[in-house]
Amino acid sequence: MTTPPVPGVPLHGSAGESAAIEALGRPAERRRWRPGLAISPLLLLGITLGPQGLNLLTPAELSIVDPVVPVVLATLGIRVGLATSARSIGARGVMAAAVLDSAVTLGLVSIALLLLLPLGLTPAVPVLVLPLAAGICAAPSLVLPPESPTEARPGALRIVDRGVLLPMAAGAALLAAIGAAAPSGAAWLALEASGATLAVAAGGWLIARRTASDTEQRVLITATLLLIGGIADSLALSALFSGLVAGLTWQWAGGPTRELLRRDVIRLERPLLVGLLVVAGAHAELSVDACLLGLAYAAARTAAKAAGTALIRRLPLSTPPRGLGAHLMAPGVFGVAFALNAARATDAFVAGLLPAVVVGSMICELVALVVRRDEVAA
């Protein structure tokens, strides 16, 4: 009989991995499934309030809000970084399952949308950019990361938590390749952005270490987020990845300062995330082609996630996690976040991506609810 995970104690090694994988096998875990945040109502709210709806959020007003988007994206990246540690990545059973699902989804969705080129639903030039970007958007299923790497999470959620890392890295590489004229230039551009982000994150940590007032700490974290998001935005790179670099830096630095920074980032996260989804919905320029592309995206993602779930169940794990299909099928927020990031950075290369991902994510969330109902019934 496997010993259940103890809250606050990281799962590591063969016994820890088995506990993480078997966690959803207990009835209590089956009853407590919840995605954390339903994204469809917020996306629909944005569509309704946006220029294609009631026009309460006019293009002029959205242009005022848009500079905040990179800050929100950086905040999401920081949260992922603060929830990632060497020990959590070293849980090989969980990490292998996460990478497998992400790679299968990214590859299958990219291929499926590439096959739509003859139908005229995706731009023909450049050929691979939009399909690859759509695959990156489809791969993650994470809504909200854990508050810390040691937080006790069911086995399926641990796979979802790790599954966001590969798409974030792939998205950063894609945007860097678009922004540079040559592969070597893309690598240099990414290194420059990462170096600047590291410097800002280290400076923020050092100043926060010497700051005693809560008000000063909140002003500091806000200024740091603005700088991290601004660096990525000015270089037309991934603000999500820049945030990840900063979050990993703070997680590695450790100490009471890290916990203060973690507290302030978590405090800001939910209201910023709600605003991000509403803005994404408002920016989605819906058309017949966009809706058809969104339907194709949802169908390809559903098939890819089903394939990923089946492959994970074939891995040599002691007990495949129950509820895995529903957790992986849920679209999460990172797909919409990257689509918004890509549209802001290189709109000419990914025209039509954001509305397709918005429509596809709403469909996928409904599919996840159906899959969850079937898994509970089984």
Lowest mean pLDDT among 14-18, 94-98, 180-184, 308-312: 14-18
pLDDT at 344 over 50: yes
- pLDDT single digits (tens) 290-317: 899 999 999 999 999 999 999 998 887 6
User: In 34-85, which ranges are continuous DSSP H helix?
Assistant: 40-49, 59-65, 69-82
Task: Compute the distance between CA of residue 307 and CA of residue 135 in angstroms, rounded to an integer.
Answer: 14
Distance CA 207, CA 81 (A): 20
pLDDT higher than 60, residue 98: yes
**Residue 226: its H or E element:** helix 214-234
> How high is the pLDDT of residue 212?
76
* Residues 176-223 pLDDT 10s: 988 876 667 888 888 889 999 999 999 999 998 888 788 888 889 999
Query: In the block, which residue shows the tokens 């009989």?
Result: 1
DSSP label at residue 6: P
pLDDT of residue 273: 93
Distance, in Å, from the CA atom of 50 to the CA atom of 66, rounded to the nearest integer, reads 13
Please say whether the beta carbons of 159 and 22 come within 8 A: no
Average pLDDT over residues 72-92: 86
Neighbours of 183 (CB within 10 A): 11
Residue 134 near residue 106, CB atoms below 8 Å = no
CATH 1.20.1530 at 13-377, yes or no? yes
**Where are the chain's structural domains?**
13-377
Q: Is 113 left (phi over 0), alpha (psi -120 to 50) or beta?
A: alpha
The closest alpha carbon to 131, from 291, 368, 300, 288, belongs to 300
Residue 28 has pLDDT above 70, yes or no: no
**Per-residue model confidence (pLDDT) at position 90:** 65
DSSP secondary structure, 272-288, as one string: HHHHHHHHHHHH----H
Q: Which pTM value belongs to this model?
A: 0.86
Of the chain, the end-to-end C-alpha distance in Å amounts to: 23
